[in-house]
Structures are given as C-alpha cells and as structure tokens.
Amino acid sequence: MAYEMQWLKLGAYTKYTGLVTQDEFFRSLDELHQHPDFGIFRFSIRDLRDCNTELLSNQGLLRYASRFLAARMMNPRIYSAILVDDSQVWPMAHRLKELAPQMLEIFEETSEVTQWLQLMTNVPIDCLGHGRWHHAYSAGPVMAQQIFRGR
C-alpha cells in the first residue's frame, strides 16, 4: 500500500509515498468517507510530498469531483488540504482545486496547512501528532468522541 492514514481529532491525515495508483488513491478516499465519524470531521489532509507520480487521469479527476461533492453533501463542514512539493504533482493538485475552489487549498508546508485549517475550522490541529485522540480512537469512535468532548 502506497499510503498511510492517521485518524486525528476531527479529521484525517493521509501520507502518500512513491508510486500511487488511482485505485489506491480512491481506496484512501473511501476509507475517509466511510469512517464512522466522517459526519463530524472538519478536515482532511492529503500529503503528496513524497509521491512521485501524477495520480489522476482526466477521467479520474471527474471521478474525484463526483466523490468530493457527494462527501460534501454528507459533511458540508469539512475542509481539504493538499500538501505538495513535486512539480510533477502540482498540475493535478491545481486541477483538483479548480473542482472545489472554496473547500480545498494547496500548500507546500505543514505549518501553512495547520494555520489555514485552524482559521477555517476553528479547531486546533496537530497534523502529525499521535496524541490522546489517536490512542483513544483504538477504543472505538464512541470512546474517542467522549474524550474529545471531555467526558
């Protein structure tokens, strides 16, 4: 598998590495959208900095757009950030942004992502941490929600 997902407080961080196929990319989207807490998520971060290939064909971009819009209907409060630093991945990232201009941004630095997402969601975000939420999540979504809400 060429990606790894981390479940964070109110969102997800997905790190892609090496050659990532369209099927793997869409599998990661499915994991996010089918997560039991997706309805309360406020953000999704897709880190493509270590990905050395263009992930989506034109048909794949349309497929992404339809899934993105469907997910936005399920959760209209979620914002998405893409981290890129490879010139080969930039064109695809910008085409994705054109499909969702208000809810998707592209960044080169993690600090920029956290600042933007905190501004948009008003939620403190630790993109790379394995803090209390990450460990609590293994006990299940109900337990994780209780910890988040301070119960």
Domain boundaries, the chain: 3-148
> What strand order describes the sheet that includes 79-83?
3-8, 11-18, 43-51, 79-83, 104-107
Residue type, 126: D
> What's the predicted TM-score (pTM) here?
0.78
Give strand pairing partners of 14: 5, 46
Q: How far apart are CA 136 and CA 120, in angstroms?
A: 25
Tens-digit pLDDT string for the chain (151 aa) = 589 999 988 999 999 998 888 888 889 999 999 999 999 999 999 998 888 766 678 888 888 888 888 888 899 999 999 999 877 778 888 888 887 777 889 999 888 998 999 999 988 776 544 333 332 333 333 333 333 333 3
CATH assignment of 3-148, given 3.90.950.10, 3.30.160.20, 3.30.750.24, 3.30.70.1710?
3.30.750.24
